[in-house]
Amino acid sequence: MNQNNLAEPLDFNLTCPIPIADYPRVTLAHGGGGRLMRDLIQKMFLSAFNNPYLNQLTDGASLAMTGAKLAFTTDSYVVRPIFFPGGDIGSLAIHGTINDLVMCGAKPLYLSVGLILEEGLPMTDLWRVINSMSSAAKLANVQIVTGDTKVVDQGKGDGIYINTSGIGQLYKDPIGPHLVKPGDGLILSGDIGRHGIAIMAVREGLEFESKIESDSASLAAVVDDLMTSGIEIHCMRDLTRGGLASGVIEIAQSSKSQINLVEDAIPVREDVQGACEILGLDPLYVANEGRFVVFAPKSEIDRTLDIMRRHELAKESALIGQVRTGTGGLVSLKTKIGTSRIVDLLSGEQLPRIC
């Protein structure tokens, strides 16, 4: 059972709308601009993502917005394997781009989907991914309004790569590192490291007592509550590639402030910690797909925690650090044994292709 209960396709029992007997696998012709591509778009994509914008079937969607302050974001997803405990590349692509928008302080409205399919991809895998995208988008109340499909030769891709770009409407002026101030509290929305470890466990064939599932989830609802609470949120960041450490370091650098973290306050599940030890990883750097940090003024920390904890996916929210005057760009960690160490960017990555 996915702990966030958001990534499960709602209705995967629906029959694949492309006849599997005729087209068991994606062919180059499905990306060729002819009848097969039209069928794929009309029978599969339009039925799954059904909305008036997409149904126009023009090269782009024409959108009406009630306001003129937008956020715009893009992300490509190349996760391997495409199905993993707690999600798949489809729900991940929807959640990820929604989360990028909400982290800018924007309400997500419209998404685009660009598919790069590898010739030979089983048609049922494509259908399962499309279904999962549709479910994730509906649950987060965003619309997939425009799309594109390309097919590359076998051996020039890896099943499916997905780009999702998104448009959101800013709640107010943009938030970000430029608003981060000494004294701000740093709140983390829950335990870290689950997404990266869920992926690695599948790849490495690791077995744990309880299955470790990705934390992949849309943060739209909890951020909506925060942004409409009247609390002056300064900055938010989701903790994807590079994990908590890289996210916080980037903010320390952009805001030219020092950030002090307290290791004891950062929740890591025991099984995730154990897996990290086996794999030689530091959970601070492991990717998450449904975790975020919030920078809020000191006086608003309790109220921020209170709002976040009302949401199942942020019920373990905790204050994990503070912004200080001091050395701009520096992140320090007070360890469990009471010493202090500098947290630095890794040169590459711990885990390739986890998103």
The footprint of a copy of itself on residues 26-85 (CB under 8 A) is 27-38, 56-78
Q: What are phi and psi of 63, to 5 degrees?
A: -120, 145
C-beta of 67 vs 338, nearer to a copy of itself: 67
C-beta of 186 vs 305, nearer to a copy of itself: 186
Neighbours of 347 (CB within 10 A): 5
Residues 254-293, one symbol each (x = binds a copy of itself by CB under 8 A, - = not), give x--------------------------------x------
Least distance from C-beta 270 to a copy of itself, angstroms? 25
Taking the C-alpha atoms of residue 329 and residue 341, their distance in angstroms, rounded to an integer, is 14
Beta-bridge partner residues of 259: 323, 331
**Size of site (CB under 8 A) for a copy of itself:** 89
Neighbours of 144 (CB within 10 A): 26
Nearest to 234 by CA among 197, 278, 185: 185
Q: Which stretch binds a copy of itself (CB under 8 A): 5-13, 103-111, 134-142, 271-279?
A: 103-111
Q: Are 96 and 75 in contact (CB under 8 A)?
A: yes
Q: Is 3 in the site for a copy of itself (CB under 8 A)?
A: no
Q: How is 304-335 classified by DSSP, letter by letter?
A: HHHHHHTSGGGTT-EEEEEEESSSTT-EEEE-
Within 296-355, the residues that bind a copy of itself by CB under 8 A are: 345-353, 355
Q: What are the C-alpha distances in Å from 285 to residues 203, 243, 249, 345? A: 18, 4, 11, 9
Residues 135-154, one symbol each (x = binds a copy of itself by CB under 8 A, - = not), give ----------xxxx-xxxx-
Residues 168-187, one symbol each (x = binds a copy of itself by CB under 8 A, - = not), give x-x---x-xx----------
By CB under 8 A, name the one of 88, 100, 184, 263 that touches a copy of itself. 100
By CB under 8 A, name the one of 114, 122, 182, 329 that touches a copy of itself. 114
Within 225-254, the residues that bind a copy of itself by CB under 8 A are: 237-238, 240-243, 246, 250, 254
Q: Is 113 in the site for a copy of itself (CB under 8 A)?
A: yes
C-beta of 33 vs 338, nearer to a copy of itself: 33
Paired tokens of 278? 């086996």
Q: Is 88 in the site for a copy of itself (CB under 8 A)?
A: no
Least distance from C-beta 66 to a copy of itself, angstroms? 6
Nearest to 227 by CA among 184, 141, 185, 168: 168
C-beta of 166 vs 185, nearer to a copy of itself: 166
Q: What are the C-alpha distances in Å from 100 to residues 152, 290, 291? A: 28, 11, 12
Q: Are 336 and 28 in contact (CB under 8 A)?
A: no
Paired tokens of 183? 């004294």
